[in-house]
Structure 1
Amino acid sequence: MKVAVIYASTTGNTEAMANAINEACKASGAEVIFGTADSADKAAVTACDVILLGSPAMGDEVLEDTMEDFYTGIEGSLNGKKVGIFGSYDWGDGQWLRDWNDRLTNAGAVSAGEALMVHLTPEEADVEQCKAWAAAAIK
């Protein structure tokens, strides 16, 4: 199985989540494409069996700019693809993930599970939650 774990991070919090998710995917035996939204190969990502995308909440709970650009570039290729989303936030209630999930649904993506959200820096329990989320998402 091929899995893409692509993320954007401004403070390192979403990157820490992505690292834990990457670790869990590799531990499952999956072949993983891992990288940041500003350097990921869109064709390689959309060729994967499962796509896991991460972005922090920015401003008025919107995607980080490089993830917005990357996601917009692959959105038309997600019909029937299994996609999961994750991210970190400081304030708010997760609206950016609900909005992103709606966009995924409208693109025809198949949900890889409920969006994963962590407040600020992932603590040990959050890291374990990221790993468990990833293991469930790629089943």
Structure 2
Amino acid sequence: MSKLAVVFWSGTGNTETMADAVVEGAEGAGAEVEKIAVADWSGNVADYDALALGCPAMGDEQLEEDEFEPFFEDIEGDLSGKKVGLFGSYDWGTGDWMETWKERAEGDDADVVDTVIANLEPDDDALASCKALGAALA
């Protein structure tokens, strides 16, 4: 059984809704899943087979800077060879932040399985994609 951490930051609840769908998909595929708000992360990347990371676009299409960006910077050196999925919502722009984030993770030699973005509140298609992401990481 694979062990998956779903680590997220959510301001309005949209990214947490996506995190819940990732958890549902992973559990449905038989994974042991821990859902963790980024502020509560005290884990070690090495303890997990895969990571699903969720963060909305903030400011000029960037990761949330007070909690999520420092967390991601801290784990970047530990992502080599890890299966990783990235997800989050955005309100404006074109979703460039996700492509930048994916490139950063791949630059750390992570195996980025998929990315999922939703404009504002995730619709049924976005939630289905999140469930599929969870299953792919399981």
* Distance (whole Å) between structure 2 residues aligned to residue 57 and residue 19 of structure 1: 18
Q: Which residue identity does 2:63 align to in structure 1?
A: L
* Gap regions ≥5 residues in structure 1: none
The answer to whether the 8 A contact 2:116-2:126 is kept is no
The answer to whether the 8 A contact 2:24-2:134 is kept is no
* Distance (whole Å) between structure 2 residues aligned to residue 101 and residue 39 of structure 1: 23
Deviation at 1:102, TM superposition (A): 1.1
Query: Which whole-Å deviations, capped at 9, do the CAs of 1:103-130 have from their partners, x for residues lacking one?
Result: 11111111212x1101101123322222
Greater RCO structure (CA 8 Å; 6+ sep):
2
Aligned length: 136
Q: Which residue identity does 1:23 align to in structure 2?
A: E
Query: Which whole-Å deviations, capped at 9, do the CAs of 1:8-42 have from their partners, x for residues lacking one?
Result: 01111001000111111112221112111111123
* Distance (whole Å) between structure 1 residues aligned to residue 133 and residue 106 of structure 2: 19
Give the structure 1 partner of residue 72 of structure 2. Answer: 71
How does the TM-score come out when normalised to structure 1?
0.91
Identity of counterpart residues, as a percentage?
43
The answer to whether the 8 A contact 1:7-1:15 is kept is yes
* Gap regions ≥5 residues in structure 2: none
What's the C-alpha RMSD, in Å, of the aligned pairs?
1.3
Q: Secondary structure at the match of 2:5?
A: strand
What pairs up with 1:119-130 in 2 under 5 angstroms? 119-130=119-130
Q: Secondary structure at the match of 1:38?
A: helix
Q: Secondary structure at the match of 1:21?
A: helix
- Tell me whether 1:80 sits opposite 2:43 in the alignment: no
What pairs up with 1:29-108 in 2 under 5 angstroms? 29-43=30-44, 45-65=45-65, 66-108=67-109
